[in-house]
Amino acid sequence: MQKKAIILLANGFEEAEALVPFDFLKRAGIDVKLVAVQDVADKAQVIDQGFIVSGSHGLKVLVKECLMCVKAEEFDAVIIPGGLRGANNISESKLATERILNQKNSNKTVAAICASPVVVLDKAGYFNTNSEVGVCYPNMDNGKPYLSGKNGTKGVCVSNNLITSRGPSCAEDFAFAIIEKLVGKEIANEVKDDTIYVNKDR
């Protein structure tokens, strides 16, 4: 059965952290969707074709669906880009928080990068069970060992069903970790070859 993933987008998202995983997961044969988080004050622009979500560097992305339009049980992974404004918007969404914690409680994959492990996951109480650790953007961990940069390798940490990463330049390795988790190392390696990945470690 084809694996499915959603990438949560809110105004202020970090473009590389959303679009590199989107591209690479598509190449891996994963059914991945960009979805707008709209139950917040800082909403994406609504147009006839869907929603226009603005990235942290001015890129505007057309997203055809919003989070409230998709069923939680349909997805094997929920992916949360960083960008401080975007992460703050997602953290203010009751629906996004509910979906993320439902993923955790259902033993499904959650992946967050940059500011989102702190601003979204930690704020939502994701780490309260002390069963997962992660990484985040440097100096945002506030001395919390479960978000220390010492966790993981190459800026990515895989802990049970949680995948976290440190920032935009880690977006490739973040994407490959998600692919490997969902469909296996062999397919991840095929995408590495197809995309001329230069940091191979196999």
**Do the strands 65-66 and 109-113 form a parallel or antiparallel pair, or are they unpaired?**
unpaired
- Which DSSP symbol is given to 34? E
Q: Which one is catalytic: 66, 69, 114, 170? A: 114
DSSP letters for 111-170: EEETTHIIIIIIHHTTTTTS------STT-STT-GGG-TTSSBTTEEEETTEEEE-SGGG
Q: Is 157 a catalytic residue?
A: no
Show Cβ contacts of residue 42 under 8 Å, excluding neighbours closer than 6 positions: 10, 11, 12, 85, 89
Rounded-to-integer distance, Cα 69 and Cα 92, Å: 18
* H helix and E strand count, the chain: 7, 10
Tokens of residue 69, six digits: 């339009």
- Which DSSP symbol is given to 38? -
Tokens of residue 97, six digits: 């928080």
Tokens of residue 92, six digits: 């203010």
Rounded-to-integer distance, Cα 19 and Cα 133, Å: 25
Catalytic residues: 114
